[in-house]
Amino acid sequence: MPLPVITNLRSIQFLKTSVNIWFVLVVLGQFIFSLYILGLYGVSGIAGDFERWNSAAPHGYIQKDFLGNLFFGLHVLLAAVITIGGPLQLMKKVRNNFPKFHRINGRIYVFSAFLIGIAGFYLTWVRGSVGGLIGSVFISINGVLIFICAFYTIKKAINHQFTEHRRWAIRLFLAMSGVWFFRVFLMLWLTIHQAPVGFDMDTFQGPALNMLYIFSYILPFVSAEFYFRIKDSPKTISKLVLSIFLLLLTSCIVVGTFSATMGMWFPRL
Ligand code: HEM
């Protein structure tokens, strides 16, 4: 009996469904992350208990460093805002039904991306980040990608090149999600190994972390290019492979998000 022929149309549908499942679960996970940011930094900031910022970020609050504290506060506040506002920009229904909202929210998102990046660079290179020099270089690469994507997202919208605009917006979303991916993949890694394998917990350095930086900050950006090509190609097999890869990745993300929520974010609240 001949094997069932999977038509190109079906593979397109399969890819769409896989992307949608991936997107919904990523958005849910990022929503939990933003609740954590507001619950920890927002609540303690409003209460004036700034010392609590240091429970998760070693350089969150430093006495008498007004500028540094301001940058940190701005960084985490905008992180919460964009983590909720960003996914709304990519939702077709929101774009089509509320175009004015899309334009206003889009400007806030892109502006916030620049501010988060600038504050992030200050925190990294003036205050110093966890993860030493290598960690600082990788997060800076993420920052540069955010700047590039934010610039082209807005430029293509102004020029009315909407296909390109959407592509840059997807790249921007992936770059902005880098720090979230890092936390989720780190917790996945720790869940699999039940120990900090491949890195030192005190210095927060080691080959496993370098791999996770690449996985979180650079690979999502590169994967977007594969997605754009495969989506438009007539090859059924590539769409199937990509769909299965996305579903596997989503399972990993679900486990990592669950571990990050239960093991890292909720206990800090
Ligand atoms: C949209 C992207 C980003 C989000 C959502 C984000 C979110 C956060 C959050 C929530 C924290 C507090 C630590 C925690 O509770 O986990 C933090 C700290 C920090 N972020 Fe970001 N961030 C982003 C981008 C960046 C970029 C691009 C850089 C660097 C160029 C950066 C550098 C830092 C540094 C240095 C800290 C302080 C860590 C420490 O105390 O050692 N972030 N960020």
> How far is ligand 1, taken at its centre, from the CA of residue 28, in Å?
20
Q: Which residues of the chain have pLDDT under 70?
A: 1-5
Which ligand 1 atom is nearest residue 130's CA?
Answer: 41
- 24 pocket-lining for ligand 1 (C-beta < 6 Å): no
Q: Which of 111, 179, 182, 218 to mutate to test ligand 1, by most ligand atoms within 8 A of the CB atom?
A: 179
List the domain boundaries for the chain: 14-268
- 146 pocket-lining for ligand 1 (C-beta < 6 Å): yes
Distance CA 266, CA 37 (A): 10
Distance CA 248, CA 18 (A): 10
**Nearest residue to 189 (alpha-carbon basis) of 210, 174, 219:** 210
The amino acid that residue 170 corresponds to is: I
Say which residues have a Cβ less than 8 Å from residue 175's Cβ, sequence separation at least 6. Answer: 142, 145, 146, 149, 217, 220, 221
- 45 pocket-lining for ligand 1 (C-beta < 6 Å): no
Ligand 1 atom 29 nearest Cα: 120
Ligand 1 atom 2 nearest Cα: 176
Q: What is the pLDDT of residue 85?
A: 92
Ligand 1 atom 5 nearest Cα: 79
Ligand 1 atom 7 nearest Cα: 79
- 124 pocket-lining for ligand 1 (C-beta < 6 Å): yes
Q: What is the pLDDT of residue 5?
A: 66
- 83 pocket-lining for ligand 1 (C-beta < 6 Å): yes
Crossing angle of the two packed helices 132-158 and 178-193, in degrees rounded to 10? 140
Distance CA 204, CA 37 (A): 21
